[in-house]
Amino acid sequence: MVINTNLSAQSGASLLMQSSTQLSKSLARLSSGSKITSPADDSAGLAVSMQLVAQMGRNTAASNNVGDAISFNQTQDGYLSQLSNALNRMSELSVQAQDVTKSNSDRGLYQQEFNTLANYINNVSTKEFNGVSLFNGDTLKVTIDSDGNTFDMKGVNLTDSTFSTLANTGTNDISTTTGAATALGNVKSAIALLAADRANIGANVETLNNYNNQLSTLNNNLSAANSQIMDVDVAQESTRYAKYNILVQTGTAMLAQANSLPQIALKLLG
């Protein structure tokens, strides 16, 4: 029997330290809800998780861009819907002005309303969305994924000669039947072009919605994958916590017993 070296106590202290470390880790996991509370827990898993989280952030940013682009198109279509009403009325005025039973005074009133609507078209062509022109015809590139790939969103050009001809109040004279017939042709061309523009806007919105849904689904899948790496299984971890808690308590008791063993040597000396 020796006094200076208590192997039982040293072994018990080592095991108690290990149990205490595991108990602390288990407590940290349950408190944080995270399986990885430090890089030492799972360095590879943490690296993968960081990349997944970064990609989800980029996807969210791309989704915001797509949402803004959808709002841009919806704003365009709101204006074009009113523009369609204006063109329809201009076409009616052009036909009414060709009525041989109408006097020049009547046609003058038609002309006045026609010019007012033409000014409205000219005004709409200058509208902007957050400082970006709605109707200059530019094709805008919308970011659609985390890698920065883009979708070419075709623009609407209300400065096109078809519309600008109508917007010029001096070009269309419906005060005569001949002028009214010419004006009607111009209005019909504008209506056809407007219909094509609204169809393009509809295609833009449909495509952007598909990209938005794709980003949402991808983020859900990435979140699920990240959860498998980072989130703690509370039921499983609670079982571990109970295990290490018991080991710490029993280890503490056994260490106390091991430390008391050298006292037996006192009996030999007595």
Query: Domain with 125 in it: what CATH number?
Result: 1.20.1330.10
- Please classify residue 183 by burial: count the beta carbons closer than 10 Å to its beta carbon, then call 0-12 exposed, 13-18 middle and 19+ buried: buried
* Residue span of the structural domain in which 111 resides: 62-230
Query: Residues 104, 24: one domain?
Result: no
In the block, tokens 């919308």 appear at 142
Residue 235 has a pLDDT of: 87
Q: Which phi and psi (to 5°) does residue 150 adopt?
A: -125, 155
In a domain, 144, yes or no: yes
User: What is the overall mean pLDDT for the chain?
Assistant: 89
pTM for this model (two decimals): 0.79
88 and 191 in contact (C-beta within 8 Å)? yes
Is residue 126 located within the same domain as residue 256?
no
Residue 198 clears pLDDT 70, i.e. is over it:
yes
- pLDDT value of position 165: 84
Is 221 in the same domain as 238? no
93 plus 224 within the same structural domain:
yes
SS3 state of residue 68:
helix
| In-domain check, residue 42 | no
Tell me the average pLDDT across 37-66. 92
Let me know whether 260 and 226 are in one domain: no
Instruction: Count how many domains the chain has.
Output: 2
243 shares a domain with 214: no
Is it the case that residue 1 has pLDDT exceeding 80?
A: no
Is residue 57, in this structure, part of any structural domain at all?
no
Instruction: Tally Cβ neighbours within 10 Å of residue 134.
Output: 21
Residue 232 has, within 13 A of its CA and on its CB side, a CA count of 22
